[in-house]
């Protein structure tokens, strides 16, 4: 594997010289160059946070998967480390697919799916997938330890191991497509990480169209357990499930040796265009944090012209409400990025538009809208707006449909479509918003809902405007911060 990693790192560095800053994120995790997708192996280990990700270092398009690697002291500022895993063995020669990490008595241990194309034929879709281990004493350089779990006869799609310790036993959940083409999550247990026994079919979605439950994660939160996963095949239903694939969660009760008793059915985790393969981990102070791939399969990706594609979402803290819904908030550590603060009160717009004279290349906003006084048919904010108003990304209230809408119809190159949620009850609508060079993340009413989407403006001017159509918009308070850059590429 050593030679493959050397070649991959050299390719990343060489191609990074061609990466442009126009879409490259200022404060999100992304590779120096090349393609990335799912986050992997998120862990707090020996006083630092490690994040790995699916990575193709030789192209800005999906290909044979390697594991990229970054590390942080504070979950905000990330430092690049050498690529951790490369496809090099007969059992993983066509890709080191997604997985997780554990601390095994001071040894950083990665679990990943070894992916092999049968007869070297990707078109026919015949594959073989096994679960593998790699270990590291220093948290940087890894040694493969081989296969620890193979699928039973007749199972082809068998991937994305998430491993954790509970009591004196290790557990693993896997995404599986069964012999009848139905997506399931399987649970295994082990005493030593190397010998695994099948425990049970933990869950399957009550939807015959779902043929795979990718990237499962299973963890306690409050007094319940959360099964988080990304179903493939789910069909759109009205405003729901509009993306190519979804990400969501099920809430239930579970103890080792028992079945998973569901008390909250599948719920979408994020309502934007670009959020997939979320994985969770615990911080040093035991907060449950989740990071996802901030893109979507089959999406237009204009950044590929700049020799890179893919980024990870901001870290988000999870809590469980009394009615078994996830509350999702940006981690407090992100305040380390803030500078150039602006505070405004009592902004009112009637049948028109107002330029706030604020830059929206890389910023954070908290906006409190008075719903009782806002009676416009449509009213909200235009981000990354060009001076001639030909380009903008809209986040607005539709008082007729009673929905909050994130609209990319005029956002720039390639992307289209809108996503929405029902307007929450209450007098004040609070929108906590993070804008980066090609992304927006919206946290609604202290994490009751989130919307995450990518966009690719073609104008250098990127201002913020507020507007109201056929009525009035009333903003009680607006807080704004310019956010610092964490990357070498500026």
pLDDT for the residue numbered 97: 98
pLDDT for the residue numbered 124: 63
The more confident residue out of 117 and 119 is 117
Model confidence at 88, pLDDT cuts 50, 70, 90, reads very high
- pLDDT exceeds cutoff 50 at 323: yes
Q: What structural domains and CATH numbers belong to the chain?
A: 2-329 (2.115.10.20), 334-483 (2.60.120.560)
> Which tokens sit at 53?
């990700």
- pLDDT exceeds cutoff 50 at 490: no
N-terminal to C-terminal alpha carbon distance within the chain: 32
Q: How many angstroms separate the CA atoms of 450 and 292, rounded?
A: 13
Q: What angle do CA 319, 321, 326 make, to 5 degrees?
A: 55
Whole-structure pTM value: 0.97
For range 321-338, the mean pLDDT: 98
- pLDDT exceeds cutoff 60 at 489: no
Q: Render pLDDT for 126-136 as a digit per residue (tens, 0 to 9).
A: 999 999 999 99
pLDDT for the residue numbered 258: 96
Q: Where are the beta strands (DSSP E) in 7-65?
A: 34-45, 48-56
pLDDT for the residue numbered 460: 82
Q: Render pLDDT for 215-247 as a digit per residue (tens, 0 to 9).
A: 999 999 999 999 999 999 999 999 999 999 999
pLDDT for the residue numbered 2: 87
For range 81-94, the mean pLDDT: 98
Lowest mean pLDDT, pick from 65-69, 225-229, 483-487: 483-487
Q: How many angstroms separate the CA atoms of 408 and 410, rounded?
A: 5
The catalytic site residues sit at 38
DSSP structure string for 103-131: EETTEEEEEEEEEEEGGG-TTTT-EEEEE
pLDDT for the residue numbered 122: 56
DSSP secondary structure code for residue 444 in this structure: E
- pLDDT exceeds cutoff 50 at 462: yes
- pLDDT exceeds cutoff 80 at 121: no
Q: Render pLDDT for 388-415 as a digit per residue (tens, 0 to 9).
A: 888 999 999 999 999 999 999 999 988 9
pLDDT for the residue numbered 277: 98
Going from the C-alpha of 455 to that of each of 53, 217, 367, 372, 393, the distances in angstroms are 22, 28, 21, 31, 8
For range 5-15, the mean pLDDT: 97
Burial class for 353, CB neighbours closer than 10 Å (0-12, 13-18, 19+): middle
Shortest CA distance to 314 belongs to which of 270, 284, 358? 270
3-state secondary structure of 332: helix
Average pLDDT, whole number, for the chain?
96
Sheet of 34-45: strand order equals 78-85, 66-72, 48-56, 34-45, 308-309
For range 192-217, the mean pLDDT: 96
Q: Which helix (H) or strand (E) holds 224?
A: strand 224-232
Q: What angle do CA 222, 160, 169 make, to 5 degrees?
A: 55
Report the percentage of the chain scoring pLDDT > 90.
93
Q: How many CB atoms lie within 10 A of CB 188?
A: 20
The more confident residue out of 461 and 170 is 170
């Amino acid at each position: 594997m050593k030679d493959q990693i050397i070649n991959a790192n050299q390719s990343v560095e060489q191609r990074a010289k061609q990466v442009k800053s126009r879409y490259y994120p200022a404060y999100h995790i992304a590779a120096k160059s090349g393609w990335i997708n799912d986050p992997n192996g998120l862990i707090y280990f020996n006083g630092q946070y490690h994040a790995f990700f699916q990575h193709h270092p030789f192209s800005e398009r999906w290909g044979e998967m390697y594991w990229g690697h970054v590390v942080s002291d504070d979950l905000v500022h990330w430092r690049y480390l050498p690529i951790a895993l490369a496809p090099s063995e007969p059992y993983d020669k066509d890709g080191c697919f997604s997985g997780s990490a554990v601390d095994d008595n001071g040894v950083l241990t990665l679990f990943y799916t070894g992916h092999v194309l049968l007869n070297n034929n990707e078109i026919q879709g015949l594959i073989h997938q096994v679960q593998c281990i790699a270990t590291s004493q220093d948290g940087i350089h890894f040694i493969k330890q081989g296969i620890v779990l193979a699928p039973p006869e007749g199972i082809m799609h068998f991937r994305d191991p998430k491993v954790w310790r509970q009591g004196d036993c290790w557990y693993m959940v896997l995404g599986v497509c069964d012999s009848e083409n139905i997506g399931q999550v399987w649970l295994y247990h082990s005493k030593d990480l190397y010998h695994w026994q099948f425990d049970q079919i933990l869950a399957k979605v009550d939807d015959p169209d779902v043929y795979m439950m990718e990237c499962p994660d299973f963890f306690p939160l409050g007094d319940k357990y959360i099964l988080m996963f990304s179903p493939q095949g789910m069909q759109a239903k009205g405003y729901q499930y509009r993306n190519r694939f979804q990400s969501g969660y099920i809430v239930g009760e579970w103890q080792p040796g028992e079945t998973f008793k569901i008390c909250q059915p599948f719920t979408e985790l994020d309502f934007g265009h670009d959020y997939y393969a979320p994985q969770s981990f615990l911080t040093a102070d035991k907060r449950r944090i989740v990071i996802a791939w901030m893109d979507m399969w089959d999406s237009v990706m204009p950044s590929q012209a700049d020799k890179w594609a893919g980024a990870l979402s901001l870290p988000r803290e999870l809590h469980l409400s009394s009615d078994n819904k996830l509350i999702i908030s940006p981690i407090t550590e992100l305040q380390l990025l803030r500078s150039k603060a602006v505070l405004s009160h009592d902004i009112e717009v009637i049948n028109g538009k107002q330029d706030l004279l604020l830059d929206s290349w890389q910023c954070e906003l908290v906006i409190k809208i008075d719903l009782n006084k806002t009676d416009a048919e449509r009213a909200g904010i235009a981000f990354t707006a060009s001076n001639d108003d030909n380009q903008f990304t809209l986040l607005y209230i539709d008082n007729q449909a009673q929905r909050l809408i994130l609209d990319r119809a005029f956002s720039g190159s390639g992307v289209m479509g809108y996503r929405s949620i029902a307007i929450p009850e209450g007098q004040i609508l609070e929108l906590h918003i993070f804008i980066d060079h090609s992304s927006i993340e919206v946290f609604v009413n202290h994490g009751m809902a989130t919307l995450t989407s990518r966009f690719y403006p073609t104008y250098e001017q990127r201002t913020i405007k507020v507007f109201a159509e056929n009525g009035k918009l009333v903003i009680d308070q607006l807080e704004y911060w310019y956010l610092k850059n964490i990357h070498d590429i500026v």
